[in-house]
Amino acid sequence: MKIIDITVPLSPDLPVYPGDPPFSLEPVARVARGDGANVSRITLGTHAGTHIDVPRHLRDDGASVDQVPLDLLTGKARVIELHDVTAIGRRELAHLPVKGEERIILKTANSRLWSHAGFLDSYASLTPDGARYLAEAGTRLVGIDYLSIGPFGNEAEVHHILLDAGILILEGLNLADVEPGHYELLCLPLKIAGGDGAPARALLRSFARVPAGESSFDPHTTRWPLS
């Protein structure tokens, strides 16, 4: 099976949502300086890059990251592509194969925004009536390819609708190389006790056979010595 990494790399160049802490990587120990190992200190927000939003994000008594059942974050998912749509509402979703799908991942033009420096507020997003439609359709998790699933300036309403309906939110995906269709989602956020959100490594595993001689891993991020 082919594995596609849909996680954006954490780096100082990563766009962050206005008001959120930027990512930083600070050397603490370095072999080049005579230390025995390389050790770094990282600083980041709980909603940096590819991350999940949980009920604790908006409600002090809501479930935190460490309380989220893992079966919500792993399993069959459907990637749905929306061309030239910035406001994803009930009308747009009603014509798409959403009903009966527990995990919906929305691929929009947002995936092209990752190549731009800094945050852009003109991203495609879900509208409140679109969020209600997903809740009515039985969705348990919804993902999107930028830093917020709600429209800039009115994020809270969409987040409330989804989270209050028990729908987890997966934000900050890079879906540029992903075709619409069915996949298996593998999403493991950092297990932060009491966390209102957490960065995650998110993968899609396709059900298509990989031709002989080709790698089953899409090297979306980094090199690793396999031999």
- Give the HSE-up count for residue 205: Cα atoms under 13 Å, Cβ half-sphere: 9
* Catalytic residue flag (residue 57): yes
Alpha-carbon distance 167 to 144, whole Å?
13
Q: Which residues pair with 125 in a beta bridge?
A: 87
Instruction: Indicate the burial class of 211 (C-beta count within 10 angstroms; 0-12, 13-18, 19 or more).
Output: exposed
CB 27 within 8 A of CB 199: no
Q: Which residue's structure tokens are 């460490």?
A: 66
Count other Cβ atoms within 10 Å, centred on residue 130.
Answer: 26
| C-alpha–C-alpha distance, residues 110 and 197, integer Å | 21
Catalytic residue among 47, 51, 57, 159: 57
Helix, strand, or coil here: 75?
strand
CA dist 200 and 53 (Å) reads 11
- The DSSP 8-state label assigned to residue 15 in this structure reads -
- Active-site residues, by number, are 57
